[in-house]
């Protein structure tokens, strides 16, 4: 298969620059447990998440902070494996929201590169992002994903050179992931909006892919501030944290409330004349 599957096509349409920025909600597969995680993903989709991002639990999540690392650890201790990821994707896709998987490269190679791409496509995923995979080594993955018809969003570091940015743009499909800060997930410190504006302008000048921001967007107020610069925002730690701190129904209620609050912030921030439709270097 050499064209996008239906889920990937829906994702592309969803992130159109003339639309309000889309909210993506992240949750590790198998967290807080097998059934609750699937129920939560459906709840997130019902309460404002336009995209669902599912994390493959990893024992060495080098780009993640303590919150998501703890969630991955819990999922692994409860027996989460790649087969659980695929089943979670299948159930999450039934919500109607496009599903994107986030995985570290070692998990993909352990499972099998082409098998990973094919099973994701079969489960209904729109794509997968592998943030620790160097572009110089990404050929097998990009070929496998292309053959399966799924998107390959690319994580773009804040200090990326123009030459590398051009190559990342050429390798990407689905979206460009633009971290709001150069930090691990869960960052709650200061947010440099001027720097983020400059970064997104660089991205717009060198790629036509939608830009999705994450990392450091810890509150709805921050989401509202970032929204005019991007086509989507993915939140993870603001959803995982209450699930870690308040097991059971209370945590589920708080996580879903966070989704609603972020979704409302993005709707409120949608500009009348959308600056995302034009880029300046």
Q: Is 192 a catalytic residue?
A: no
Q: Which of 18, 64, 110, 268 is catalytic?
A: 64
- CA angle 33–38–40, rounded 5-degree value: 90
What is residue 78's three-state secondary structure?
coil
The whole-number pLDDT of residue 16 equals: 79
What is the structure's pLDDT at 3? 67
Q: What is the mean pLDDT of residues 85-114?
A: 97
Angle (nearest 5°) at CA 74 between 117 and 131? 40
pTM over 0.85: yes
Does residue 269 surpass a pLDDT of 80? Answer: no
pLDDT above 70: residue 275: no
pLDDT of residue 88: 97
In 50-89, beta strands by DSSP E = 51-55
Give the total residue count for the chain.
281
If one compares 8 and 115, the residue with the highest pLDDT of the two is 115
Which of 236, 105, 138, 259 is CA-nearest to residue 183? 236
Catalytic residue among 18, 39, 53, 264: 53
Is 64 in the active site?
yes
pLDDT at 272 over 60: no
Is the Cβ–Cβ distance between 129 and 8 less than 8 Å? no
Residue 176: how many CA atoms within 13 Å on its side-chain side? 28
Q: Using 50, 70 and 90 to split pLDDT, how confident is the model at 1?
A: very low
Q: How confident is the model at residue 5 (pLDDT cuts 50, 70, 90)?
A: confident
Distance of CA 94 to CAs 133, 150, 202, Å? 29, 17, 36
Which of left, alpha, beta for 101 (phi over 0: left; psi -120 to 50: alpha)?
Answer: beta
For the range 246-252, what are the long-range contacts, defined as Cβ-Cβ under 8 Å and sequence gap of 24 or more? 247/32, 251/32, 252/36, 252/39, 252/40, 252/43
pLDDT the model gives residue 247: 86
The pLDDT of residue 133 = 95
**Could you report the per-residue pLDDT of 141-160, keeping only the tens digit for each?**
999 999 999 999 999 999 99
For residue 278, pLDDT beyond 50:
no
Which CATH number fits the domain 6-268, given the four candidates 3.40.50.300, 2.60.120.260, 3.20.20.70, 3.30.70.100?
Answer: 3.20.20.70
Per residue in 7-52, pLDDT tens?
888 888 888 777 789 999 999 999 999 899 999 999 999 999 999 9
pLDDT at residue 67 in the model = 97
Residue recorded with tokens 């998987």: 101
H helices of 1-33, in order, are 6-14
Distance from C-alpha of 238 to C-alpha of 232, rounded to nearest angstrom: 16
Closest CA to 41 of 97, 85, 80: 97
- What ranges do the domains of the chain cover? 6-268
């Amino acid at each position: 298969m050499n064209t996008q599957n239906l889920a990937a096509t829906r994702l592309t349409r969803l992130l159109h620059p003339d639309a309000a920025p889309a909210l993506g909600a992240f949750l590790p597969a198998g967290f807080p447990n097998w059934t609750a995680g699937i129920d939560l993903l459906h709840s997130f989709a019902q309460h404002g998440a336009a995209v669902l991002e599912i994390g493959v639990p990893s024992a060495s999540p080098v780009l993640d902070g303590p919150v998501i690392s703890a969630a991955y650890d819990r999922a692994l201790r409860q027996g989460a494996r790649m087969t659980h990821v695929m089943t979670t994707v299948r159930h999450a896709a039934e919500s109607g929201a496009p599903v994107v998987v986030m995985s570290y490269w070692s998990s993909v190679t352990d499972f099998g590169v082409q098998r990973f791409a094919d099973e994701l496509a079969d489960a209904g995923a729109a794509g997968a992002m592998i943030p620790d995979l160097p572009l110089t080594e990404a050929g097998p993955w990009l070929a496998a994903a292309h053959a399966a018809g799924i998107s390959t969003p690319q994580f773009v570091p804040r200090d990326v050179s123009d030459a590398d940015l051009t190559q990342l743009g050429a390798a990407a499909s689905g979206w460009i992931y633009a971290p709001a800060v150069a930090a691990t997930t869960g960052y709650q410190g200061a947010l440099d909006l001027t720097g983020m504006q400059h970064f997104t302008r660089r991205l717009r000048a060198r790629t036509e892919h939608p830009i999705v921001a994450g990392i450091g967007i810890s509150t709805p107020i921050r989401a509202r501030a970032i929204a005019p610069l991007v086509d989507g925002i993915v939140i993870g730690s603001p959803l995982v944290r209450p699930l870690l701190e308040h097991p059971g129904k209370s945590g589920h209620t708080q996580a879903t409330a966070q989704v609603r609050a972020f979704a409302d912030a993005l709707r409120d921030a949608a500009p009348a004349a959308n600056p995302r439709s034009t880029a300046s270097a």
